[in-house]
C-alpha cells in the first residue's frame, strides 16, 4: 500500500522548503511528504489523490496566501478528505484567523511561525495528531475501482469480466453519490467528460479508462491477450472445465500448451453459484472457485492462457493447424482441441434484448447479487443451473420466483437441488410458466408472465430477470472446415461414420478417434461435442482423456 500523504501548502517558497525538510526528516519512513505553493495547486493534488484512492493523513497549511486563504482551502479540502488532520500555520498577528478556522473548518491545531526547533514546537504536536489519525485509519481498497451505473450494460460487462477473471475490484455506483459520501467525493474528483462516459475504470496507479472494452481493461490489469510464440504442440480453444482439464494434463505431460478463452476461464460452469455434486467436494464449491483452482494448476504447469481472446477461423497446411485470432494474428500447432462449450440460448421475447445488462441477464450474473437485496428476483429455467442460481439469489433477495415452462422440476433437475429449493422459504416455483414480455425504459421494471395451463398472462413488477434456457454451441468459426450437426455441435468419432464410411477428405489409414473430428489432429471435448453429457465431471473427464489421443496422434506426425 502507498504511504499515507502529508501535504504542506505555503506560497512562501522558503517556508515551504523548510516545512517539507522538517517533515521528511521525521516522517519520511512512514509517510509520503508532498508540497504545493498555492491552495488551487493543493486542491488539484488532493483530487488526484482521491481518484488514486490514496490516504491523506495531514494538511499543514499557511493562512495568508493570495487567491485562496488557508481557511478557504481547508473548507474545500475537508470535502475530499474529512478524516485528514488539519493544521493551520499562522503569524503572531493571525490569532483571529486561527479562531475562525477552529469554528469554520474544525482545525485540529494551529502553529505559530517560526516553529524552531521542530523537536519542541512541531514534532510533538504532529506526533499526537498522527497517532490519533492512525488509530482510526482504515486502509483504502488498493485494486481496480469501477465507477458506473448499476443499470448500465457496459458497467455490468466490466464488472462481470473482472469478477470472472478473478481480478479484485471495487464497484462504486454513481447513483449512490447522494447517500455515500465516499462515492460523492470520488465523483467530484473526476472531470465532467469522465462522468459522461461511464463506466470509469480506475487503476491503482491513478490511470483510468472511460467506457473501455474488456480487452483494454485486460491489458491494463495484466491479463495476457497475445501469445508468446507462433507455434505450440497443443492449442486449446475454450477455457471451461473440459479445456482447463486438457490444459493441465497436456502441459503436465510435456506439451507446450496455449489456451484461448473468449471471456474468462471457467466457462458456464465458472458462472455457477454452487456445484454440490462434483466428486471430492462434499460441501460443494462455487464455479468461480473451481475455475480459479484449475487456472492456478494450469499456470503452475506452464500453460499460456490468453483471455479475453477469440478464435475466428481455422485452416490446415499439411501437419499444421492454424488458428486465426480476433486481433488478426495466427498461431499454429500440430494438435488442436476445441472445448468452446455452449452459450445460453437467446430469448425471442419483446423487451429482453433491449434490457439485457440492465436488469435482464443471461446466466447467474453473480456480480449483481448484492444489488438484489430486498428485491423480487425472477429466474427462468428448470435445469440445475437455474436451480443453483435460485438458491444463491435467495440469500440476498426478498423472494426468488422460478418460472419453469414444464410441469415438473424433476424432468431436468437433480433431486438434491429440488429438495433444497423446496426447503427454502423465499423461493417460489411457478410451473407451466414463461415470460411473454419484459417492460422498462432504461432498466427492467416489470415482466409479463404467461401460464400455459390457465392461458392467463399477468404483468408484475420486477427489477431482475435471470435467464437459463438451454444452450447453443458457438462454432460458426469452424464453418466449412470441421463437420457439425444442424444445431452446430461438433461431430466426433463414431458420429462421423454414420454410413460406415470415413469422413470425406480423411487421408489416414485408420478411423477417427473417439474425440477426433473429421480433421486428423483436431479434437472436440465437452459440451460443444454432439452427444456429450452436460456435466462438469464429464467435461473434465473428456478433456483429460483427450490428451492420450493427442499423444497418439503426435507420435505419428512429429
Quick: pLDDT tens for 390-413.
Answer: 999 999 999 999 999 999 999 889
Q: For the chain, what is the total number of helices (H) and then of strands (E)?
A: 16, 26
Task: Give the CA angle between residues 108, 110, 114 to the nearest 5°.
Answer: 150
* Nearest-angstrom CA–CA distance, 450 and 434: 5
Helices (H), 118-152: 118-121, 123-136
* Nearest-angstrom CA–CA distance, 122 and 503: 87
Domains, the chain: 5-136 (3.40.50.2300), 144-221 (3.40.30.10), 232-343+473-557 (3.50.50.60), 360-469 (3.50.50.60)
Query: Which residue positions in the chain have pLDDT lower than 50?
Result: none
- How much is the pLDDT for 425? 96
Residue that the C-alpha cell 512562501 belongs to = 12
Number of residues that this document lists for the chain: 558
DSSP letters for 194-239: HHHS--EEE-TTS-EEES--HHHHHHHHT---S-S-SEEEEEEE--
* Nearest-angstrom CA–CA distance, 39 and 27: 23
- How much is the pLDDT for 1? 66
Amino acid at each position: 500500500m502507498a504511504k499515507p500523504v502529508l501535504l504542506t501548502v505555503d506560497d512562501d517558497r522558503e517556508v515551504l522548503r523548510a516545512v517539507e525538510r522538517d517533515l521528511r526528516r521525521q516522517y519520511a519512513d512512514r509517510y509520503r511528504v508532498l508540497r504545493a505553493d498555492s491552495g488551487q495547486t493543493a486542491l488539484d493534488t488532493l483530487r488526484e489523490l482521491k481518484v488514486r484512492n490514496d490516504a491523506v493523513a495531514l494538511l499543514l497549511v499557511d493562512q495568508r496566501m493570495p487567491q485562496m486563504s488557508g481557511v478557504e482551502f481547508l473548507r474545500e479540502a475537508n470535502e475530499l478528505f474529512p478524516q485528514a488532520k488539519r493544521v493551520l500555520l499562522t503569524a503572531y498577528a493571525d490569532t483571529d484567523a486561527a479562531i475562525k478556522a477552529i469554528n469554520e473548518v474544525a482545525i485540529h491545531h494551529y502553529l505559530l511561525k517560526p516553529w524552531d526547533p521542530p523537536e519542541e514546537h512541531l514534532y510533538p504536536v504532529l506526533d499526537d495528531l498522527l497517532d490519533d489519525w492512525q488509530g482510526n485509519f482504515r486502509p483504502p481498497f488498493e485494486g481496480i475501482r469501477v465507477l458506473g451505473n448499476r443499470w448500465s450494460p457496459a458497467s455490468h460487462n466490466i464488472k462481470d469480466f473482472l469478477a470472472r477473471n478473478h481480478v479484485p475490484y471495487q464497484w462504486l455506483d454513481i447513483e449512490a453519490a447522494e447517500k455515500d459520501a465516499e462515492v460523492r467525493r470520488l465523483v467530484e474528483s473526476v472531470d465532467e467528460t469522465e462522468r459522461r462516459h461511464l463506466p470509469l475504470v480506475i487503476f491503482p496507479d491513478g490511470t483510468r479508462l472511460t467506457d473501455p472494452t474488456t480487452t483494454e481493461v485486460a491489458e491494463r490489469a495484466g491479463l495476457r491477450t497475445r501469445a508468446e510464440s507462433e507455434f505450440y504442440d497443443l492449442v486449446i480453444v475454450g477455457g471451461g472445465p473440459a479445456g482447463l482439464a486438457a490444459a493441465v494434463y497436456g502441459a503436465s505431460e510435456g506439451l507446450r500448451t496455449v489456451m484461448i478463452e473468449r471471456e474468462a476461464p471457467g466457462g458456464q460452469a465458472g458462472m455457477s453459484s454452487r456445484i454440490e455434486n462434483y466428486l471430492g467436494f462434499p460441501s460443494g464449491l462455487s464455479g468461480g472457485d473451481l475455475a480459479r483452482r484449475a487456472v492456478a494448476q494450469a499456470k503452475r504447469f506452464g500453460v499460456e492462457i490468453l483471455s479475453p481472446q477469440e478464435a475466428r477461423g481455422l485452416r490446415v497446411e499439411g501437419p499444421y493447424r492454424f488458428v486465426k485470432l480476433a486481433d488478426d494474428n495466427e498461431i499454429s500447432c500440430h494438435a488442436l482441441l476445441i472445448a468452446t462449450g455452449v452459450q445460453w440460448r437467446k430469448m425471442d421475447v419483446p423487451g429482453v434484448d433491449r434490457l439485457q445488462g440492465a436488469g435482464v441477464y443471461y446466466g447467474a450474473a453473480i456480480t449483481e447479487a448484492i444489488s438484489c437485496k430486498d428485491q423480487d428476483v425472477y429466474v427462468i429455467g428448470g435445469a440445475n443451473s437455474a436451480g443453483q442460481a435460485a438458491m444463491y439469489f435467495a440469500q440476498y433477495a426478498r423472494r426468488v420466483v422460478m418460472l419453469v415452462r414444464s410441469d415438473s422440476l424433476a424432468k431436468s433437475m437433480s433431486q438434491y437441488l429440488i429438495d433444497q429449493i423446496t426447503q427454502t422459504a423465499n423461493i417460489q416455483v411457478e410451473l407451466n410458466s414463461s415470460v411473454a414480455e419484459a417492460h422498462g425504459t432504461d432498466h427492467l421494471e416489470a415482466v409479463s408472465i404467461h401460464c400455459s395451463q390457465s392461458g392467463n398472462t399477468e404483468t408484475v413488477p420486477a427489477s431482475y430477470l435471470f435467464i437459463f434456457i438451454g444452450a447453443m454451441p458457438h462454432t460458426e468459426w469452424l464453418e466449412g472446415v470441421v463437420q457439425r450437426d444442424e444445431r452446430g455441435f461438433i461431430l466426433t468419432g463414431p458420429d462421423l461414420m454414420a454410413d460406415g464410411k470415413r469422413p470425406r477428405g480423411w487421408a489416414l489409414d485408420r478411423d477417427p478417434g473417439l474425440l477426433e473430428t473429421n480433421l486428423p489432429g483436431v479434437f472436440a471435448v465437452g459440451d460443444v461435442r454432439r452427444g456429450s453429457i452436460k456435466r462438469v465431471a464429464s467435461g473434465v473427464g473428456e478433456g483429460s482423456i483427450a490428451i492420450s489421443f493427442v499423444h497418439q496422434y503426435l507420435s505419428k506426425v512429429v
